Structure 1
Amino acid sequence: MVERVHPDDRDGVPAVAHSAESADAGVVVRPETLLLTLFGIHVLDHGIALSTRSVLTVMAELGVGEHATRATLSRMIRRELLRTARRGRQAFLGLTPHGESVLREGLRRLEGPVVDRDWDGRWTLLTFSVPEARRADRHALRTRLEWLGFGPLRSGLWVSASCQDVSPALAELDLLPHAEVFRAEAFMWTDPVRIAREAWDLAVLAEGYGRFCERWSEPARGGLGELARQVRVEAEWLLLIRRDPRLPLALLPEDWPGVAAEQLFRSLRWQLARPAQQQAAELLEFIVDE
């Protein structure tokens, strides 16, 4: 017997797949990002698996066709983010332990603030030199450093305004022998505000937050139902904060739009939680994931 979902408020984390655009703003959100967000909100910690049919229904409303959704789901299964189960003729999709880990990391980031209001003035400096023969590992390390809030200041020198433990990322890639990490303060003529401008493209970040506010200041925009709107809003927000190093306010321009965007996102998240849950109970089919 197929039961109905009773979701609460959980979140996903963005990743890579084919792209889809918002109906009203042309903002690219990849299908894998949308799927992970859907599973983060409505599957993580529920012990359930969603029917492929109901996943396809939600993705169709989000503007992603059946072929693209199935192709993305296949990749996610190969990457061990999702696993399948069958009940009769129906296929169901549940999270793997790896998928749960990815989503929990996204939830941790989503719950955090976009600015640091308690900065002690110290920086984390990471210097590394990866052999050319390990170019793929070097690219993977840079991707992980960006997720952790680091920015490239000079060739081989990355900085973060927070106290970040980068050892897990380095150890995972077997790069600990190729890197050194320091905690330091700006000294003499070195201007921390200039460092922030050089290490991160603050104009691009500000533009992203500004567009988020323009797009979602009217919650009913886009003609989406509550469930699809919830997924879309959280997916877009996760894309924004994935690129955001969460700098101290002292290093950011005045009237930083990330603050207003965060207030809007928190409000939307609260407003959409109950109606999206009610719609999910009507649309999403699930089984207990054993």
Structure 2
Amino acid sequence: MSADNVKLGHDLNEAVTALLVDLPIKAASFIVTIYGDVVEPRGGVVWIGNLIETCKSIGITETLVRTAVSRLVSAGQLAGEREGRRSYYRLTDTAQAEFAEAASLFYGPEPAVRWQFVLINGPSPDEIMQGLERDGFARLSPRLAVGTHPVPPLPGRVIVFNAELATENGALREFAEEAWNLPRFAEAYHEFAVRFGAFSQRAGDCAALSPFDCLIARLLLVHQYRLIMLREPHLPKSALPDNWPGEEARHLFADLYSLLSKKADGYVGRRFVNEAGRLQETTPASQHRLDRLKSR
């Protein structure tokens, strides 16, 4: 997406607009980011008008928002509610649990590594295997995968083995290089650091950014970071190449998220609503995220 082609719902600061250059964003995925960053820690319900306004500013039309929300409802992630003429959408219990687990990955300390082997029994294992690969697992054979992520919900014909490493040596790094496409994740982290490092230099202390600028910048920050974090394998340092860029990206994410949040959360508290009224500017859950980022 070129910044010149973005039809803005607000006049965004040029530092925020520059984040959109050559950054294709899918409506459903960005709406998931809005729920994960803004809505989940504030009860899980929001007016669709807030989604439309926010998405419009990065070039996503109202039609695309409504289509994406309908698909998320069909997928069991959102449930619709009406209050008068307004439509609200709530995270389902399953989605709320998934979002809370993802939040612990983004905002918490470096997760402890827990190795898991997944054995797929029965016919047609490839569909299950592809889902595991999307979640950061590596395919060892047509029926066996290994990874460190929590295993997603799987059919009953799948067996999960927990494992501990007896030793960590050069063989582990060699194995990781063969099992995962680590250069792809390294490139993604590098691109993240370049894009948001440039934003950090332009924005400085964010004094020139409006509260809406800060919200959009934070959403874009979370969105791009989420796309990497949920897919990369989260291996121990002994399995990673030297100068792994994930650490730099992690620190940059923490610093920028903390910097943008005061104004961004202020905007949320003034403009975002659920069926009971305005969303809270801060909640124990949103403050807990900031506290954990600052403690890194």
- Which category of TM-score, normalised to the shorter sequence, fits these structures? 0.7 to 0.9
Which residue in the other structure is 1:169 paired with? 153
1:42 Cα offset (Å):
2.3
1:67 partnered with 2:67? no
Q: TM-score, normalised by structure 1?
A: 0.75
Tell whether the 8 Å contact from 1:114 to 1:247 is kept in structure 2 after alignment.
no
Which residue in the other structure is 2:143 paired with? 156
- Distance between the aligned counterparts of 2:85 and 2:115, measured in 1? 56
Deviations 1:190-231 (A, max 9, x none): 821111011110100000000000100133679971111111
Which residue in the other structure is 1:240 paired with? 228
- Distance between the aligned counterparts of 1:76 and 1:142, measured in 2? 21
- Distance between the aligned counterparts of 1:254 and 1:215, measured in 2? 22
**Match runs of 1:11-160 below 5 Å:** 24-47=20-43, 49-113=45-109, 123-132=115-124, 138-144=126-132, 146-147=134-135, 149-160=136-147
SS at structure 2 position matched to 1:243: coil
2:192 partner amino acid: F
Q: TM-score, normalised by structure 2?
A: 0.73
1:71 partner amino acid: T
Q: After the TM superposition, which of the residue ranges 211-220 and 194-203 deviates more from structure 2?
A: 211-220
Provide the alpha-carbon RMSD of the alignment: 3.2
More relative contact order, 1 or 2 (CA 8 Å, 6+ apart): 1
- Distance between the aligned counterparts of 1:153 and 1:211, measured in 2? 29
Shift of the 234–48 alpha-carbon distance from structure 1 to 2, 3 Å rule, reads: closer
1:252 partnered with 2:232? no
Which residue in the other structure is 1:197 paired with? 177
SS at structure 2 position matched to 1:169: coil
Shift of the 127–78 alpha-carbon distance from structure 1 to 2, 3 Å rule, reads: closer
Deviations 1:60-80 (A, max 9, x none): 112211111110001112223
- Distance between the aligned counterparts of 1:183 and 1:87, measured in 2? 50
Shift of the 140–231 alpha-carbon distance from structure 1 to 2, 3 Å rule, reads: farther
1:239 partner amino acid: L
SS at structure 1 position matched to 2:241: coil
- Distance between the aligned counterparts of 1:217 and 1:73, measured in 2? 32
Shift of the 153–52 alpha-carbon distance from structure 1 to 2, 3 Å rule, reads: same
- Distance between the aligned counterparts of 1:87 and 1:123, measured in 2? 47
Note the residue ranges of structure 1 that are not aligned, 5 or more in a row: 1-21
Identity %: 23
Which residue in the other structure is 2:292 paired with? none
Count residues with an aligned counterpart. 253
SS at structure 2 position matched to 1:104: helix
Note the residue ranges of structure 2 that are not aligned, 5 or more in a row: 1-17, 204-208, 278-296
SS at structure 2 position matched to 1:94: strand
Tell whether the 8 Å contact from 1:25 to 1:215 is kept in structure 2 after alignment.
no
- Distance between the aligned counterparts of 2:77 and 2:189, measured in 1? 29
Shift of the 153–55 alpha-carbon distance from structure 1 to 2, 3 Å rule, reads: same
Shift of the 113–139 alpha-carbon distance from structure 1 to 2, 3 Å rule, reads: farther
